[in-house]
Homo-oligomer: A and B are copies of this chain.
Amino acid sequence: MRWVNRRIGRGQALLLGGLPLALVVLGYVVAAAARHAENPADKILPLPGAMASAMAALLFEPDPLSGELLFWADTLASLSRLGIGLGIATLSALLAGLMLGALPPVRAFFSPLVTAIAVIPPIALLPILFIIFGLGETAKVALIVVGITPFMLRDLAGHISALPREQMVKALTLGASSWQLLLRVALPQALPRLIEELRLSLGPAWVFLISAEAIAADVGLGYRIFLVRRYLAMDVIIPYVGWIALLAVAMDFVLSRTSRLAFGWAHKARR
């Protein structure tokens, strides 16, 4: 049977998909063991035991200063920033993307501006962001929003404007106004694509969150990573990164499930 036709069952897929991940972990352990054989105090590739004990302190021992369990405090802070950032980005991408995609005059007016914002690296203009948003939570959320919205917006606008022209004509003959067309034709077909974009944006969103937390923060997963990077505490960094990956994969899974449940029509068409 040709490879393009091989269908993979759920169980098989889990097994197959787990394999490379397991290999990576194995490769890491081997490399770490090799380094430790050379230098038992090596910090670059800590052994799993060292990571476990380093993490145990963050997980279970309250911080003497704040009395908090640092790991959980970090997670909570980062997730809430990420959540707010993603929420604002998604909402504004949806609104603006619909308008830009469906209304040519709006597109003509805004698309050069949007392109410009999309290609300006926000981290290069941090001082200006600080002036506008200060240094608190707003600035961190703003960096996420500024970082991922342009991509989502442009992709969504492209998706909307690529909807078959017949659909638009059809809606107009059914008496739709521009507003109604946005609401009943463009919006519902934008939503599954929006979820797809959100999934693709999770990686960049974490990058911007971590950058923001590296710049000025006193709690958060990115804060901890950059703080302990000062003394190369890879035994904390690696578990933290793994945890971030786990959180992101979980979000990815939830989003893809949601899309299948809520927008079945979009997935049936592709069987």
Supposing A4-B181, A111-B17 touch, asked if A225 and B124 sit within 8 A by C-beta, the answer is: yes
Q: How far, in whole Å, are A172 and B126 apart by their CA atoms in the complex?
A: 53
A211 contacts partner chain B, Cβ-Cβ < 8 Å? yes
A190 contacts partner chain B, Cβ-Cβ < 8 Å? no
From 11 to 41 in chain A, residues with beta carbon under 8 angstroms from any chain B beta carbon are 12-13, 16-21, 24
Is A108 in contact with B8, judged by CB distance below 8 angstroms? yes
Q: How far, in whole Å, are A119 and B202 apart by their CA atoms in the complex?
A: 6
A125 contacts partner chain B, Cβ-Cβ < 8 Å? yes
Is A124 in contact with B222, judged by CB distance below 8 angstroms? yes
Is B121 in contact with A19, judged by CB distance below 8 angstroms? no
Supposing A120-B241, A127-B229, A222-B124 touch, asked if A12 and B108 sit within 8 A by C-beta, the answer is: yes
Is A17 in contact with B210, judged by CB distance below 8 angstroms? no
In the complex, which of the residues B3, B13, B119, B203 contacts A206, with contact meaning CB atoms closer than 8 Å? Answer: B119
Is A123 in contact with B165, judged by CB distance below 8 angstroms? no
Is B154 in contact with A207, judged by CB distance below 8 angstroms? no
Is B118 in contact with A203, judged by CB distance below 8 angstroms? yes
Q: Which chain B residue lies CB-closest to A247?
A: B119
Is B237 in contact with A200, judged by CB distance below 8 angstroms? no
- List of B residues within 8 angstroms of A21 by Cβ: 112-113, 116
Is A17 in contact with B249, judged by CB distance below 8 angstroms? no
Q: How far, in whole Å, are A150 and B44 apart by their CA atoms in the complex?
A: 25
Question: Count of A residues near B, CB < 8 Å?
Answer: 85
Q: How far, in whole Å, are A203 and B201 apart by their CA atoms in the complex?
A: 13
Using a CB–CB cutoff of 8 Å, the interface residues on chain A facing chain B are 2-8, 12-13, 16-21, 24, 44-45, 102-113, 115-116, 118-128, 131, 147, 150-151, 154-155, 158, 161-162, 165, 168, 172, 177-178, 181, 196, 200, 202-204, 206-207, 209-211, 214, 222, 225, 229, 232, 234, 237-238, 240-241, 244-245, 248-249, 252, 270-271
- Extra inter-chain contacts (16) besides given A115-B252, A121-B206, A147-B207, CB under 8 Å: A3-B106, A4-B103, A4-B178, A8-B105, A20-B110, A20-B112, A118-B203, A121-B222, A121-B241, A123-B207, A124-B222, A125-B238, A127-B229, A127-B234, A151-B204, A211-B211
Question: Can you spell out 17 A-B residue pairs with CB atoms less than 8 angstroms apart?
Answer: A2-B177, A2-B178, A2-B181, A3-B103, A4-B102, A4-B168, A5-B172, A8-B108, A13-B108, A17-B108, A21-B112, A44-B128, A44-B131, A116-B249, A119-B252, A121-B206, A124-B222
